[in-house]
Amino acid sequence: MMQIYLDSANLEEIEEALSWGVISGITTNPTLMAKETGESAPLVEKICRMLGKNPVSVEVLSTAAEDMVKEAKRIANLSSNIVIKIPMGIEGLKAVYQLSQGGKGIKCNVTLVFSVNQAILAARAGAAYVSPFVGRLDDIGWDGVGLVKEMADIFAKHKIGAAIIAASIRHPRHVREVAAAGAHIATVPFSVLKQMVNHPLTDLGVERFLRDWAQARPEEVF
């Protein structure tokens, strides 16, 4: 079953989403972190405690491989369930390769992936997760869901172990489509998660049931 991650660094959103019992992880990025108040390290630690053993992706800010590795190790020391997000690129691949080595290597999530070639390279470098950006591809007239499907087919054919996280999800239809395309995970904003719950016929159905009960047995309650 495709897992759902919440793409957020907001503690209230995370707490509420976790209470629904549908969230298996958290992804963050510098943009999301910058929206929250306070220092980033304590915020990350709070999020990690809330998630228990489930993964929390935290992105590095450095751009050179050596600096990415140093920063990643500092971040990973905050909690055992942290996954390091590394932007796609030559320096990123170098960093992922170094971080993933050894029996206790640091798990990496290669982000900003826009092609199958990038996904293959990220997986070969040792990424545990590869994140194609569906919405951003759609924005420029490309087929974001099609990329996810092509990645999923190739990963399955060649038994590539990296998990595909469909990112840059813009609406509930994206979630349905990437699930059908074979994504292992979809990471969604809280606004999209709420939209996934709702359907006008569900609301009408509840309203009708309550109205019928009130008319037939106005004084009876269970």
Among residues 35, 46, 73, 85, the one annotated as catalytic is: 85
Distance from C-alpha of 21 to C-alpha of 101, rounded to nearest angstrom:
34
CB atoms within 10 A of CB 18: 16
Selection from 50, 102, 103 nearest residue 79 by Cα: 50
Is 85 marked active-site?
yes
Distance from C-alpha of 202 to C-alpha of 208, rounded to nearest angstrom:
10
Class of residue 222 by CB neighbours under 10 A (exposed 0-12, middle 13-18, buried 19+) = exposed
Selection from 200, 198, 172, 203 nearest residue 4 by Cα: 172
Inter-CA distances, 90 with 55, 62, 110, 206, Å: 25, 13, 12, 54
- Report the length, in residues, of the chain: 222
Active-site residue set: 85
